[in-house]
Structure 1
Amino acid sequence: VQMQNDYIHEWLPQKQDFLHILLELEAPPVPQICKKCQRDRVYRCPDCMHQLLLCTNCCCTMHEAHPFHRIQQWTGAFFEDSALHMTDLQLHLGHGGAPCPSASTNEPAPLSVMEDGEWEDVDNIPCHLWPPVGSKYLTIIDVMGVHFLLVQACQCPNADSFHM
């Protein structure tokens, strides 16, 4: 029967290898191109297998079925927490998650302008946690944190009305 110290003694010769792997995860590999489309990449997702580095469009597309993943954005010096709403991810209700074919446009609703008196003090809040200004964003709170998603409801003539 091995004791706890025995396991540590077995691991110690490998510690440099583990440290090297952990440090490699903190910087993007070279060249810095998207694994899907070969464009410049800026995002990675610690929740996804292999933590691929992706451009904004590919990150958004890959997360249509995983809207509650927490992504990170490369700043040029380090990976900073970000959010999928910053990639313009939309949550489509109806049609199996695909955009409604009856919708006149699937572009996000124009963002409203806030008056000076409406602004909250956000100096100490990271930008990915700032609530987006716009009437069609849904705030969802789960065990992974706060998520803001742009919701596009089905607009077919026989669809139930969706009030938000």
Structure 2
Amino acid sequence: CIDCDTDKLQCNACVVESHSCCPLHRIKQWNGTFFEDSSLPNAGLVLKLGHDPTLCLAGGTRIQYHLMTVMDVTGLHNVRLSWCRCYGFRNLAEEIFRLRWIPATLVHPGTAFTFRVMKQFQMLSHVARTTAWDFCTTLQRITDNVQPDLLPKIYRSFNQVQRHWRVMRAYKRGGLTKIRGEEASSARLGLQCVSCPWPGKNIPDNWQADPDADLIYATFMAVDGNYRLSRNKKGGGEAVDPSFFGDNAFYAPNSDYKEYCRVRGGADDELADITCRGHKTGDAKRFNNSARKASSGIVCGVCGRSAAFFHHGTVDLAIGERFVNVDFAVVNVLLQLVKSGLKRIVVSYDVACKYNINFEHRITHKDWPLVSQRELRQFKNTRVDWLVPKFHLAAHVDGC
């Protein structure tokens, strides 16, 4: 075995016995001249499900086997399974989940992915920007670098499963055991920024008594748009390609936002009268307002310290970065911060010099007020400072 930390040679019977709990190890077999690649199923290993380490005989004396392709950090492996067929037994997909594998389908699965390989890809995609295609190709090359095209095609299955994997981990972090029902519909999957002060969680109980509380316990929110994250129309919309997270993560409630844009879409574009130029906000050439685009970009509010996204602080842009669109994202974040009990919030935005002038009028507009009168009073009891990021100061004029 080339995965065991030993140079011990074993016969077929011994290698099967020693690997009864390690079905994904790679072995080589002596053919009389040299060691050639082999596999544990060829040696006779059968992974027993439900009755470890014995076989289930409920289906009679004839043992039924199921050959499966499993993707692990060491490559692609063939595994021969024998599953339980007792009364009230779990289906094959559930038995595979108990092995910490994810089946590619819940009905007669023939491919599975280990938790190890899913965790590794998720980290590589974050740190090294590795794509699913490159990752699958690499593991195929590790398995067989001479004829990788003869191996099973696992990219499409892996690309779907890795999306589900991230969703499952998000629900797990959110403390949910079910992804359907009333509990899941009101879940909060967007984790709070750990570097921001949250009263009752990560700051002292008497934090308001500190003379420098406005400085030490201030929250910094950075608002900006991103036109690179445009989205093409795929046909069918949400019915064909629904969101896995829905309204429970970083995007603002979709149905409310669409209705808000319909009602307030005719509002004056205050960016048209702006005097400072030289930045991308309000640049009509960057709207990407093509008929093939469902969204020309996004605007979001993030933590100014760690760049962590705020819950419900992101919205899609339809025809550019208009203030009415930005208001929906900003107010969602400000309401969370104000209701937490914070006394000072610092908001940075490329055009904050113009944006904050009519901010209160826009969020209390009679057509669609974004805040109630009670929430507005809470706003006024909180110090909100507006500033322009230093990088953008050169694009502004003295009047700003």
Give the TM-score, by structure 2 length: 0.22
Mapped to 2, the partners of 1:147 and 1:92 lie a distance apart of 16
Report how many residues are paired: 94
1:147 aligns with 2:63: no
Match of 2:40 in 1: 84
1:52 aligns with 2:29: no
8 Å CA contact 2:2, 2:27 repeated in 1: yes
Per the alignment, do residues 106 and 150 of structure 1 end up closer, same or farther by CA in structure 2, a change over 3 Å counting?
farther
Match of 2:19 in 1: 63
1:46 is paired with a residue of what secondary structure?
Answer: coil
8 Å CA contact 1:108, 1:150 repeated in 2: no
Deviation of 1:106 (Å): 6.1
More helix by share: 2
Return the index of the structure with the highest Cα Rg: 2
Deviation of 1:108 (Å): 5.1
Identity %: 36
Match of 1:13 in 2: none
Deviation of 1:104 (Å): 2.1
Which gives a bigger RCO, structure 1 or 2 (Cα 8 Å, sep 6+)? Answer: 1
Deviation of 1:84 (Å): 0.8
Gaps of 5+ in 2: 93-106, 109-400
1:156 aligns with 2:112: no
Mapped to 2, the partners of 1:106 and 1:152 lie a distance apart of 11
8 Å CA contact 1:90, 1:150 repeated in 2: yes
Mapped to 2, the partners of 1:142 and 1:151 lie a distance apart of 16
Deviation of 1:63 (Å): 0.8
Alignment RMSD (CA, Å): 2.0
Moved over 6 A (4+): none
Residue of structure 2 aligned with 1:104, choices 46, 60, 66: 60
Deviation of 1:51 (Å): 2.5
Mapped to 2, the partners of 1:148 and 1:154 lie a distance apart of 20
8 Å CA contact 2:29, 2:35 repeated in 1: yes
2:52 is paired with a residue of what secondary structure?
Answer: helix
1:73 is paired with a residue of what secondary structure?
Answer: strand
Mapped to 2, the partners of 1:50 and 1:143 lie a distance apart of 20
Gaps of 5+ in 1: 1-44, 110-135
Q: Deviations over 1:13-39 (max 9, x none)?
A: xxxxxxxxxxxxxxxxxxxxxxxxxxx
Mapped to 1, the partners of 2:62 and 2:5 lie a distance apart of 29
8 Å CA contact 1:99, 1:106 repeated in 2: no
Deviation of 1:62 (Å): 1.0
1:51 is paired with a residue of what secondary structure?
Answer: coil
